[in-house]
Every structure is written in structure tokens, then in C-alpha cells.
């Protein structure tokens, strides 16, 4: 008897070791994230060169509409291009007659008053024009928790009617866009494709590895519970373990707990939970059938 029981003890120990190792790995990853998960956004050069210094920061993501609220800040800077008025005379950027139009991928997103470009705070520090605009995202939300959202926009500042850049027929001011990290987006990792300020911004937003590990770790917990119950059942096949019913009950509310309400459709996590549910339900059915046949065989043997 002791020799037959040994393999199942080994299997149970291996499951416990695997579960403990996974728990330790997740804990260490959350408490001490390595440089792999640090966003390369900090490597973007702060030197603007030509164009009006423009800073862009993603404030929030709307999964349903696949848009982002983006804070935009524009200053005059030290390299503002000269502007010619309708009469051909050169005028400062902040003194043109009329409003600029902030363009994102050739779409008007905001009106900018010239004086706002040179606005200062109470201490005389230039703060420039500041506004929040809504921009479209390229989204893969069904991959949750591995979902990604891409922001790729070209920016320029359209001059008022009658104004052009001095010596040219160009009717827009160039912008030097610098993406900024938003510390409030704690669950997101921001990847910047362009490594120096330029006329466009290309950002990739994805959930941090800590979030993904947490979601998958919680999602597979009922499966681990079900496997442990199966190990117990292999030693005593007279009944279906209560732990399997508990594993199924634990699976049902996980979707509403782990998946944000504004993430539409069937996600990757839904697929994982569905596979677990089918696996555990199939295991329960097979165990019930085997238990019934085992009891029937015992009954026949007693009558004989």
C-alpha cells in the first residue's frame, strides 16, 4: 500500500512546489521589477532643435471609443520661425491677428490664441498654451490583459488666413513634439518609438508585466485547485471531491473582477477562463461516471 501511495504523494508535492515557485516569482516581480519592464520613454532627448517645443502626455484611455485624452503644451521657445503677415511684413509668432489651429493628422483638434503661446505664470516662467484633446487610438483591446493601444499622430500649427512662414508659401508652423511619462498611469507601460522631438509622436501603451502576471496568476488559481482535487480523487474514487465544485464557483466571478468594464468583446482572459471551466467540468463528469461504475461493480461483487 505504501508503495502505491508514493507516486501520488510525489505528484502532490510537485504541484505544491510549482504553486509556491509561481507565487514567489510573482511576488518578487511585483516588488522588484527589473529594467526590462522600465519604459524607454526616459531615453527621449529633451533637445527640441527646430520647431515650437511641444509636450504630449496621455492622461486617460477610453477602451470603448478607442480614444485617448492627451494633454498638449506648446511654447514659443528659442527657435520660432518668422511669420509674414498679409502685407508681407514679418511679425512675431505671438502677435499675429487671428487664431492658430492645432492639427493632428490633418484634423483640427483645437484653436490656439497667439498670446497663449507666450503665456507665463505668476513668477514669469513661460508655461505656453495648454489644452486637453481627444485623439484616436489603434487598439487591440480583445487581447486583455495583453492589450495594446497605439497613438501615432503628426502635429502642426496652422497659421491664420493670410499668414505664411517668411520667404515661403508654407501655412503652418512646425512643432517639435516631446512625449512625457504620466506617472498617474501606474498600470501601463509606455513605449516611445521616436527617440528625439520631431513633428510626430508614436506611442505604444500596454499593461505592465506586473498587471499581466497578477491577472493570469489569479485566473489559473481555480485550475490549480482543480488539479489538487484530482490528485486527491485518484487515491479515493468513491466520490467527486468538493474542491472541484469550489473551483468552478471560483471561476464564475473572475471575469467581472479582472476585466475592466469598458473593455468590449471576448478577451484573451475570457478564453483562458473558458478553457479552465470546460476542463474542470469535463473532469467532474468523468469522475462522476467512474465513481458510479465503481459503486456498481462493488454492488455486483457483494451479491456474488
Neighbouring CB atoms inside 10 A of 280's CB total 23
Residue boundaries of the structural domains of the chain: 2-31+211-303, 39-207
pLDDT value of residue 139: 86
Per DSSP (E only), the strands in 107-220 are 107-112, 129-136, 138-139, 148-158, 164-165, 172-179, 188-192, 200-207
Q: Which residue in 19, 7, 15 sits closest to 234, CA to CA?
A: 7
| Burial class for 100, CB neighbours closer than 10 Å (0-12, 13-18, 19+) | buried
pLDDT value of residue 269: 86
- Residue 133 confidence (pLDDT) above 90: yes
C-alpha dist (Å) from residue 242 to 28, 238, 278, 284: 33, 12, 17, 10
Question: pLDDT by residue (tens digit) across 245-300?
Answer: 777 777 878 888 888 888 878 888 888 888 888 888 887 777 777 766 666 655 54
Confidence band (pLDDT; 50, 70, 90) for 101? Answer: very high
pLDDT value of residue 296: 61
- Residue 49 confidence (pLDDT) above 80: no
Q: Which residue in 21, 26, 20, 22 sits closest to 209, CA to CA?
A: 26
Task: Give the mean model confidence (pLDDT) for residues 119-127.
Answer: 78
Question: pLDDT by residue (tens digit) across 213-222?
Answer: 888 888 887 8
- Average pLDDT value over all residues in the chain: 76
Task: Give the mean model confidence (pLDDT) for residues 72-99.
Answer: 84
Helices (H) and strands (E) in the chain, counts: 5, 13
User: What's the predicted TM-score (pTM) here?
Assistant: 0.69
Using DSSP's 3-state secondary structure scheme, residue 200 falls into strand
- Find the range with the poorest average confidence among 86-90, 105-109, 206-210, 291-295: 291-295
pLDDT above 70 covers a percentage of the chain that reads 73
How far apart are alpha carbons 235 and 274 in whole angstroms? 28
pLDDT value of residue 41: 45
Greater model confidence, 288 or 131: 131
pLDDT value of residue 43: 45
Confidence band (pLDDT; 50, 70, 90) for 1? Answer: very low
How far apart are alpha carbons 270 and 250 in whole angstroms? 14
Q: Which residues, including other chains, have CB under 8 Å from residue 274's CB and lie 6 or more apart?
A: none
All cell numbers assigned to 143: 487581447
For residues 149 and 138, is the Cβ–Cβ distance under 8 A?
yes
Question: pLDDT by residue (tens digit) across 143-201?
Answer: 888 888 988 888 889 999 989 888 788 888 888 888 887 878 888 888 776 656 677 78
Amino acid at each position: 500500500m505504501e508503495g502505491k501511495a508514493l507516486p501520488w504523494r510525489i505528484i502532490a508535492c510537485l504541484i505544491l512546489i510549482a504553486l509556491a515557485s509561481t507565487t514567489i516569482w510573482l511576488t518578487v516581480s511585483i516588488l522588484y521589477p527589473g529594467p526590462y519592464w522600465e519604459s524607454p520613454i526616459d531615453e527621449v532627448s529633451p533637445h527640441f532643435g527646430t520647431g515650437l517645443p511641444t509636450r504630449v502626455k496621455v492622461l486617460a484611455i477610453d477602451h470603448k471609443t478607442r480614444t485617448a485624452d492627451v494633454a498638449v503644451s506648446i511654447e514659443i521657445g528659442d527657435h520660432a520661425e518668422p511669420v509674414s503677415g498679409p502685407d508681407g511684413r514679418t511679425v512675431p509668432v505671438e502677435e499675429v491677428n487671428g487664431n492658430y489651429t492645432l492639427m493632428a493628422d490633418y484634423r483640427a483638434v483645437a484653436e490656439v490664441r497667439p498670446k497663449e503661446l507666450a503665456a507665463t505664470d505668476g513668477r514669469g516662467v513661460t508655461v505656453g498654451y495648454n489644452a486637453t484633446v481627444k485623439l484616436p487610438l489603434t487598439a487591440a483591446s480583445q487581447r486583455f490583459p495583453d492589450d495594446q493601444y497605439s497613438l501615432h499622430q503628426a502635429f502642426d500649427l496652422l497659421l491664420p488666413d493670410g499668414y505664411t512662414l517668411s520667404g515661403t508659401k508654407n501655412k503652418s508652423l512646425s512643432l517639435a513634439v516631446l512625449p512625457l511619462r504620466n506617472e498617474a498611469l501606474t498600470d501601463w507601460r509606455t513605449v516611445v518609438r521616436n527617440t528625439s522631438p520631431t513633428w510626430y509622436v508614436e506611442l505604444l501603451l500596454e499593461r505592465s508585466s506586473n498587471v499581466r502576471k497578477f491577472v493570469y496568476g489569479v485566473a489559473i488559481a481555480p485550475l490549480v485547485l482543480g488539479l489538487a482535487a484530482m490528485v486527491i480523487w485518484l487515491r479515493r474514487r468513491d466520490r467527486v471531491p468538493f474542491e472541484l465544485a469550489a473551483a468552478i464557483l471560483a471561476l464564475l466571478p473572475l471575469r467581472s473582477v479582472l476585466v475592466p468594464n469598458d473593455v468590449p468583446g471576448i478577451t484573451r482572459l475570457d478564453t483562458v477562463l473558458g478553457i479552465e471551466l470546460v476542463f474542470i467540468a469535463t473532469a467532474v463528469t468523468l469522475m462522476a461516471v467512474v465513481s458510479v461504475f465503481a459503486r456498481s461493480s462493488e454492488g455486483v461483487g457483494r451479491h456474488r
